[in-house]
Amino acid sequence: MSDSFTPVVAGSALGSKAAPAVTPKNIPNRGGPANPSAQAIAQQFAGAVVRADVIWGETIVVVDRARVHDIIQWLHDDPSQRYDYLSDVTAVEFRDLEQPIEVVWQLRSLPYRRFLRVKVLLEKGATLDVPSVWDIYKGADWLERECYDMFGITFTGHPDLRRLLMWEQYAEGYPLRKDFPLRGRFSRSEQLRQALAANPEARYSKEELSIADAFEDLPAEMKRRLATGERTGE
Amino acid sequence: MGLSPRPEPTFKELSGNEPWITTKLDQFVNWGRKNSLWPMPFGTACCAIEFMATAASDYDLARFGMERQAFSPRQADLLICAGRVPFKLAPVLRRIWQQMPQPKWCISMGACASSGGMFDNYAVVQGIDSIIPVDVYVPGCPPRPEGLLYGILMLQKKIEHERSGDKTLRQEMEPDPTTQLYIPPAVIDEVSEPFGNSVHQTRSGL
């Protein structure tokens, strides 16, 4: 644990005169009070916001693909925003051929008790790539890998973009895309043949393999401790 | 003066004093085997919850000689596959089966393990019998503990009637070296055709 660790208290940035957190009632389908961060993004990044909606009380900001990384970085760092928790990275594809694929970042600001949904629209037919937010939130690692696995969206800047749920040699495509048949593209026997050809032990991540490779480079004292079975890092 | 040799007991003396039986070897061995199965639970889904209920005190699997659950395939002779098996798990299940020593049996517990169940999709194996040989299929979603016990009793009955003269019984099924499949691909495709509601599943026209 680093020395700079400080616990985050939910709502601590709101001050002592903030209203207590209650479950909202009678939320309209459209409209209603928007998350102030939506306005702040529009001011800070002129022209980057495509549109901002409030649906069922949840604020959705659709932004420009080229600036989404800067926006999320700013939301994370700025003292007036402090979005310190990334709930989810996922994507939505619609059956409509004209409608673009949406990549969704679900953000949570613990100190301000705010939720914000940031979206980027990706036109079908063009290359599906968005910047990775792994350098801002380390937790985005597997979320982005899953999104890549299921939708085929490339997150540029991700350190280790591989399939997460399906095995790495999986050749049938991206299962959550609308053009993917439910039963898969290959016949059942071919699917089984390819699955059985996989080596169940070949599952180590690049990181684990690189740690094993790096064993020789460790200091002699640490090597001695590791060799006697001591676990480090906990 | 030497020790006088102990007189050989006569057949009559033997039969009079010590109990003994005659039986067929097969019957005796099968009786032992069927009452001391060591199950290895391969639980992947909700069927495993029912399996745990079966093993717990109310239903008590130990009444049928399954006191010891083996969590290592090398000390097990009954594989109970409880739950759906995704394609990613197929080589793992195959290897676990190959690690079990003979004699060994397999129970496919529940609809998903037996046929893929309602998961007629890209990720789930349509019946574990396309990976490993199965002795007893237990239907249900998930089967109640009574269902699993009935399946186990059926397996015990099957073991009871095994004959050691039948050399094919203990033969390991060798998969085809090129495709790694036991059964011809055409058969797998035929038995995993969509049926019931999955015929009408929403297919994407895109």
pLDDT in tens, A38-50: 999 999 998 999 9
**A166, A182, A188 ranked by CB distance to B188: nearest:** A188
Residue B87 predicted with pLDDT over 70: yes
Express as a percent the part of chain A with pLDDT over 70.
90
Q: Cβ contacts (< 8 Å) between B123 and chain A: which residues?
A: 166, 175, 184
Query: How do strand A101-109 and strand A114-122 relate by DSSP bridges?
Result: antiparallel
Which of A131-135, B20-24, B58-62, B202-206 is predicted with the least confidence, judged by mean pLDDT? B202-206
The CA radius of gyration of chain A, in Å to the nearest whole number, is 22
Residue B199 has what pLDDT? 65
- How far A151 CA lies from chain B's nearest CA (Å)? 15
Give the residue from chain B lying closest to A189, CA to CA.
Answer: B185
Residue B28 has what pLDDT? 92
Residue B204 predicted with pLDDT over 60: no
The answer to whether A232 and A215 are in contact (CB under 8 A) is no
Interface test with B, best of A162, A168, A182 (most B CBs within 10 A): A182
Dist CA B123 CA A209 (whole Å): 27
Dist CA B11 CA B131 (whole Å): 55
pLDDT in tens, A52-78: 999 998 999 999 999 999 999 999 999
Write the secondary structure of A94-138 as one string of H (helix), E (strand) and C (coil).
CCCCCCCEEEEEEEEECCCCEEEEEEEEECCCCCCEEECCCCCCC
First to last CA, chain B: 106
Strand spans (E) along chain A: 49-55, 58-63, 85-92, 101-109, 114-122, 129-131, 154-156
Give the residue from chain A lying closest to B193, CA to CA.
Answer: A188
User: The sheet that has B78-82: what strands, in order across it?
Assistant: B39-43, B78-82, B105-109, B136-138
**B186, B189, B204 ranked by CB distance to A180: nearest:** B204
Q: Cβ contacts (< 8 Å) between A192 and chain B: which residues?
A: 87, 90, 125, 130-131, 181, 188
Q: Where are the domains of chain B?
A: 26-162+171-191
Dist CA B76 CA B66 (whole Å): 11
Which of A13-17, A24-28, A123-127, B127-131 is predicted with the least confidence, judged by mean pLDDT? A13-17
Kindly report the average pLDDT of chain A as a whole number: 86
Residue B135 has what pLDDT? 93
Q: How would residue A207 be classed by pLDDT, with cut points 50, 70 and 90? A: low
pLDDT in tens, A121-175: 999 888 899 999 999 999 999 999 999 999 999 999 998 888 888 887 888 999 9
Q: How would residue A9 be classed by pLDDT, with cut points 50, 70 and 90? A: confident
Dist CA A82 CA A78 (whole Å): 6
Q: Cβ contacts (< 8 Å) between A194 and chain B: which residues?
A: 87
Cβ of A96 under 8 Å from any chain B Cβ?
no
Residue A208 has what pLDDT? 65
Q: Cβ contacts (< 8 Å) between B93 and chain A: which residues?
A: none
Cβ of A163 under 8 Å from any chain B Cβ?
no
A 65-94 residues inside an 8 A Cβ radius of B: none
* Position A46, amino acid: A
> According to DSSP H, which parts of chain B are helical?
11-17, 25-34, 46-55, 90-99, 110-115, 145-160, 185-191
The owner of tokens 């800047």 is: A157
Mean pLDDT of the region A210-221: 72
**A178, A189, A197 ranked by CB distance to B188: nearest:** A189
Long-range contacts of B133-136 (CB under 8 A, 24+ apart): B133/B106, B133/B173, B133/B182, B134/B106, B134/B107, B134/B108, B135/B105, B135/B106, B135/B107, B136/B105, B136/B106, B136/B107, B136/B108
Residue B206 has what pLDDT? 46
Residue A234 predicted with pLDDT over 60: no
Cβ of B52 under 8 Å from any chain A Cβ?
no
Interface test with B, best of A196, A199, A201, A203 (most B CBs within 10 A): A196
**A178, A184, A190 ranked by CB distance to B206: nearest:** A178
Cβ of B20 under 8 Å from any chain A Cβ?
no
Q: How would residue B203 be classed by pLDDT, with cut points 50, 70 and 90? A: low
Query: Could you name the CATH architecture of B26-162+171-191?
Result: 3-Layer(aba) Sandwich (3.40)
Q: Does domain A26-165 have CATH number 2.60.40.3080?
A: no
Residue A233 has what pLDDT? 47
Cβ of A195 under 8 Å from any chain B Cβ?
yes
Residue A204 has what pLDDT? 59
Query: How do strand A49-55 and strand A58-63 relate by DSSP bridges?
Result: antiparallel
Residue B202 predicted with pLDDT over 60: no
Q: How would residue B77 be classed by pLDDT, with cut points 50, 70 and 90? A: very high
Q: Where are the domains of chain A?
A: 26-165
The answer to whether A164 and A106 are in contact (CB under 8 A) is no
Give the residue from chain B lying closest to A203, CA to CA.
Answer: B88
Residue B58 has what pLDDT? 92
Dist CA A177 CA B206 (whole Å): 10
Q: What are the two backbone dihedrals, phi and then psi, of residue B45, each rounded to the nearest 5 degrees?
A: -155, -155
User: The sheet that has A85-92: what strands, in order across it?
Assistant: A49-55, A58-63, A114-122, A101-109, A85-92
Q: What is the separation of C-alpha A174 from the centre of its chain, rounded to a whole number of angstroms?
A: 17
**B88, B186, B206 ranked by CB distance to A195: nearest:** B88
pLDDT in tens, A181-190: 888 888 889 9
Residue B165 has what pLDDT? 84
Residue A1 predicted with pLDDT over 50: no
Q: How would residue B19 be classed by pLDDT, with cut points 50, 70 and 90? A: confident
Omega within 30 of 0 (cis) for the link into A111: no
First to last CA, chain A: 9
pLDDT in tens, B140-182: 999 999 999 999 999 999 999 998 888 888 888 888 888 888 8
The answer to whether B82 and B108 are in contact (CB under 8 A) is no
Query: What is Dmax (Cα atoms) for chain B?
Result: 106
